[in-house]
A and B are shown apart, each in its own frame.
Chain A
Amino acid sequence: MKKTSKGFSVIEILLVIILVVLVGGVGYSVYHRNHKSQAVANQQTPTQPLPPADGTTQSIDSLVAQDAGSESSINTKYSNDDQSTVQGTNGSTADLGGAYNESSF
Chain B
Amino acid sequence: MNRPFRQFKLGAIGAGLVFSLTIFTPAMTLAAPATPKESPFCTNLPNTISKVSTDISNLKSKMTAERSKLDQQIAAGRAKWDQEIKNSRAKWDQERQGYFLKLEAKATTDAQKSAVKTYEAAITAAVNIRRTANDAARTTYYAGVDSAISNQRATVDGQVATFTGSVNSAESTAQSSCAATPSSGPDIRTTFQAAMKSARESYTAARKSDGNIKDQVKQLAQTRDASFKSNDATFDASSKAARDALKAAFKSTNI
Contacts and interface: CB of A to CB of B under 8 A. Distances in A.
Interface in A77-92: 78-79, 81-83, 85-92
A105 interface: yes
A71 B88 contact: yes
Contacts of A86: 70, 74, 145, 148-149, 213-214, 217
Interface stretch (B3-11, B27-35, B60-68): B60-68
Nearest to B41: A105
Q: Which of A64, A70, A99 has the most CB of B within 10 A?
A: A99
Contacts of B134: 71, 75
Given A68-B235, A100-B200, A57 B246 contact: yes
Given A60-B99, A78-B80, A83-B218, A99 B145 contact: no
Contacts of A88: 70
Contacts of A79: 141, 221, 224
Main secondary structure of the interface of B (DSSP, over half): helix
B117 interface: no
Nearest to B63: A92
Nearest to B80: A78
A67 B98 CA distance: 14
Interface residues of B, number: 76
Contacts of A29: none
B181 to A, nearest CB: 18
A94 B206 CA distance: 10
Q: Bin the interface of chain A by size.
A: 35 or more
A59 interface: yes
Contacts of B152: 89
Given A67-B92, A102-B197, A60 B123 contact: yes
Nearest to B196: A102
Nearest to B199: A102
A92 to B, nearest CB: 4
A76 to B, nearest CB: 9
B59 A75 contact: no
B46 interface: no
Interface string A8-40: 000000000000000000000000000000000
Given A74-B81, A82-B77, A102-B200, A97 B96 contact: no
B67 A89 contact: yes
The 3 closest A-B pairs by CB, nearest first: A55-B102, A97-B204, A78-B81
Given A55-B103, A63-B92, A67-B88, 17 more contacts: A57-B255, A59-B102, A60-B99, A60-B100, A64-B96, A64-B127, A75-B134, A79-B141, A85-B74, A86-B213, A87-B213, A87-B217, A93-B156, A98-B200, A102-B197, A103-B193, A105-B189
Interface of B: 41, 48, 51-52, 55-56, 59-60, 62-63, 65-67, 70, 73-74, 77-78, 80-81, 84-85, 88-89, 92, 95-96, 98-100, 102-103, 105-106, 119, 123, 127, 130-131, 134, 138, 141, 145, 148-149, 152, 156, 160, 163, 189, 192-194, 196-197, 200, 203-204, 207, 212-214, 217-218, 221, 224-225, 228, 232, 235, 239, 243, 246-247, 254-255
